[in-house]
């Protein structure tokens, strides 16, 4: 456990240069809580500022959760002033944010902290935000992710550098972790050697927080089975990181041929995606969710596995992810829709379009194929395909959007219903309803495409000729 300041400074300087965490001439925002980790980090970076050619700015957020939080803020202000470093200190109500977001206190504190750091970095012109995560934090994070059922992506734990959470990536603001290979004991020893007298966060001893229970209870228990469990967890994180980096490179390379559309509604070529190895399928889904939504918060391996199953499921199925993202299996493509985005990918049909029967008919956004058969050779497991008794419906069929007063007799029900009521009960989004194709004969609606045919048009044992309609998405 080196207490010599020069030894620790050399190690951190070497780590920063090895990973290219900071470029010369940059402004670095240093997040200082007042604890030994962040205080030692600030002191070291200040000692290295000429060597690294950097400019520092201290940021401290008072979460308003502890009686002593005000004294912590005062300590950080005095420390930064003594070092001649400009400071931004703010106070926020984490409890109110937690209530508003309906999340855990830990997650609420994390969100407001990073939002504060992102905002302060923009105001000060910093492209790097240094945080005091240590080797111990890395081991705890890896174990926490294991307990939460993380995939390999989560097992790699904390990276030396990563885009700042909840921020806009295109702005290039990065979180850097200069202490990630330094132990907590080493930061405490450094503070003692340099008479820094950091603050003690009493909430670190409260076992109501998961991370604290892992640090205070679970890791000591695991040391009874493996005295060097910390190193084992760090090796696991390193190996997972190497494998993940390789898979990331491969997935990024194939994404360009899979993806259409940008922004909050993005589409993937499901046929090409099915042909990829499972590891790449999983990673492509993660990349798409992160692109559309800006983060992977609360996305775990169980959710990614559900998306892989969706890829091989029937057309029309959807997976609703934490945070409101919806992923839908359409014919030949997977649609990823960001939270709050309800824009239907289908165009509104504002007039009647007569179908060529048999044959093909081009509609706005659709290509409809009509086939007449002597018997039904198909299972209607694709929501954009359906079979009908031709004698009951005839060949004079048209496609249109819904109209006021529309009624039909949904398959399997005893009576007819208002189409509006059917759409509400079927959870069809309000903004989608005018875009849902409605197939009609001269006498009745025979099919609400994507949802239900009319019971009176169904194929029965007495059917002599079957009409098969297939709706294909067309650009």
Q: Tens digits of per-residue pLDDT, 440-449?
A: 999 999 999 9
> Could you tell me which residues come within 8 angstroms of residue 106 by beta carbon, excluding any fewer than 6 positions away?
209, 210, 211
**452 lies in some domain:** yes
Please state, as a whole number, how many other Cβ atoms lie within 10 Å of the Cβ of residue 328.
18
Q: Which residue has the tokens 């790449």?
A: 280
At residue 240, the pLDDT reads 92
DSSP reduced 3-state for 210: helix
Of the residues 312, 337, 362, the one at which a domain ends = 337
At residue 383, the pLDDT reads 80
Kindly provide the b/e burial profile for residues 57-81, where b requires at least 16 CB atoms within 10 angstroms of the residue's own CB.
Answer: bbbbbbbeeeeebeebbebbbebbe
**346 lies in some domain:** no
The model's pLDDT over 336-371, given as tens digits with 9 standing for 90+, comes to 887 766 557 788 888 999 999 999 999 998 999 999
In this predicted structure, which of 19-23, 101-105, 353-357, 420-424 has the lowest mean pLDDT?
101-105
**246 lies in some domain:** no
| Better-scored residue on pLDDT, 292 or 460 | 460
What average pLDDT does the structure give for the chain?
88
For residue 67, what pLDDT band results from cuts at 50, 70 and 90? confident
**Rg of the chain, C-alpha, whole Å:** 29
The mean pLDDT of 120-131, rounded to a whole number, is 95
Same-domain pairing of 85 and 223: yes
State the Cα–Cα distance between residues 438 and 328, nearest whole angstrom.
Answer: 21
At residue 393, the pLDDT reads 94
The mean pLDDT of 404-415, rounded to a whole number, is 91
**249 lies in some domain:** no
At residue 268, the pLDDT reads 87
The model's pLDDT over 146-192, given as tens digits with 9 standing for 90+, comes to 988 877 888 888 999 988 876 665 567 899 999 999 999 999 999 99
The model's pLDDT over 256-266, given as tens digits with 9 standing for 90+, comes to 888 876 566 67
DSSP reduced 3-state for 87: strand
**423 lies in some domain:** yes
For residue 381, what pLDDT band results from cuts at 50, 70 and 90? low
Element (H, E) at 447: strand 445-448
| Alpha-carbon dihedral 184, 188, 194, 199, rounded to 10 degrees | 110
For residue 191, give its domain range.
Answer: 5-231
**345 lies in some domain:** no
Q: Per the structure, how many domains does the chain have?
A: 3
Same-domain pairing of 278 and 156: no
**251 lies in some domain:** no
| Extended strands (E) in 97-206 | 128-130, 161-163, 174-176
pLDDT for residue 450 is more than 90: no
Q: What is the value of pTM for the model shown?
A: 0.69
At residue 1, the pLDDT reads 43
Same-domain pairing of 180 and 271: no
State the Cα–Cα distance between residues 391 and 434, nearest whole angstrom.
Answer: 29
Spell out the SS3 assignment of 346-395.
CCCCCCCEECCCCEEEEECCEEEEEEEECCCCCCCCCCCEEEEEHHHHCC
Same-domain pairing of 298 and 222: no
The model's pLDDT over 309-341, given as tens digits with 9 standing for 90+, comes to 999 987 667 888 887 888 888 767 888 887 766
Of the residues 178, 209, 231, the one at which a domain ends = 231
**455 lies in some domain:** yes
DSSP reduced 3-state for 459: coil
């Amino acid at each position: 456990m080196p207490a010599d300041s020069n030894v620790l400074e050399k190690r951190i300087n070497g780590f920063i240069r090895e990973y290219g965490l900071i470029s010369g001439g940059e402004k670095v925002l240093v997040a200082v809580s007042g604890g030994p980790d962040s205080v030692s980090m600030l002191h070291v970076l200040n000692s290295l500022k000429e060597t690294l050619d950097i400019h520092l700015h201290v940021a401290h957020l008072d979460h308003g959760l502890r009686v002593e939080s005000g004294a912590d803020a005062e300590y950080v202000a005095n420390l930064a002033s003594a070092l001649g470093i400009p400071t931004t200190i703010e106070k926020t109500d984490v409890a109110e944010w937690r209530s508003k977001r309906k999340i855990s206190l830990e997650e609420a504190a994390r969100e407001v902290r990073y939002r504060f750091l992102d905002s302060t970095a923009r105001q000060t012109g910093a492209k790097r935000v240094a945080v005091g995560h240590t080797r111990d934090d890395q081991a705890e994070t890896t174990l926490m992710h294991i307990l939460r059922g993380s995939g390999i992506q989560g097992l790699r734990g904390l990276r030396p550098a990563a885009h700042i959470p909840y921020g806009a990536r295109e702005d290039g603001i990065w979180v850097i972790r200069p202490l990630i290979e330094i132990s907590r004991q080493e930061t405490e020893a450094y503070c003692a050697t340099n008479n820094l007298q950091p603050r003690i966060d009493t909430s670190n001893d409260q076992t109501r927080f998961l991370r604290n229970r892992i640090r205070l209870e679970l890791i000591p228990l695991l040391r009874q089975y493996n005295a060097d469990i910390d190193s084992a967890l760090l090796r696991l994180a390193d190996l997972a990181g190497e494998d993940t980096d390789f898979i990331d490179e491969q997935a990024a390379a194939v994404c360009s041929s899979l993806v259409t559309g940008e922004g909050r509604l993005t589409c993937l070529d499901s046929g090409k995606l099915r042909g990829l190895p499972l590891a790449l399928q999983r990673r492509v889904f993660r990349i798409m969710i992160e692109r559309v939504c800006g983060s992977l918060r609360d996305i775990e391996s169980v959710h990614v596995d559900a998306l892989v199953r969706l890829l091989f499921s029937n057309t029309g199925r959807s997976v609703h992810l934490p945070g409101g993202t919806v992923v839908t299996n359409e014919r030949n493509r997977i649609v990823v829709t960001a939270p709050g985005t309800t824009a239907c990918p289908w165009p509104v049909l504002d007039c009647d379009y007569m179908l060529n029967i048999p044959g093909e008919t081009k509609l706005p956004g659709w290509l409809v194929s009509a086939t007449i058969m002597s018997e039904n050779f198909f299972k209607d497991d694709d929501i954009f395909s359906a079979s009908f008794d031709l004698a009951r419906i005839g060949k004079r069929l048209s496609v249109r959007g819904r109209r006021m007063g529309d009624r039909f007799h949904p398959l399997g029900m005893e009576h007819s219903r208002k189409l509006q009521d059917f759409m509400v009960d079927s959870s069809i989004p309000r903004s989608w309803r005018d875009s849902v194709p409605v197939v009609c004969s001269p006498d009745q609606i025979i099919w609400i495409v994507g949802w239900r045919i009319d019971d009176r048009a169904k194929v029965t044992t007495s059917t002599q000729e079957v009409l098969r309609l297939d709706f294909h998405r067309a650009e």
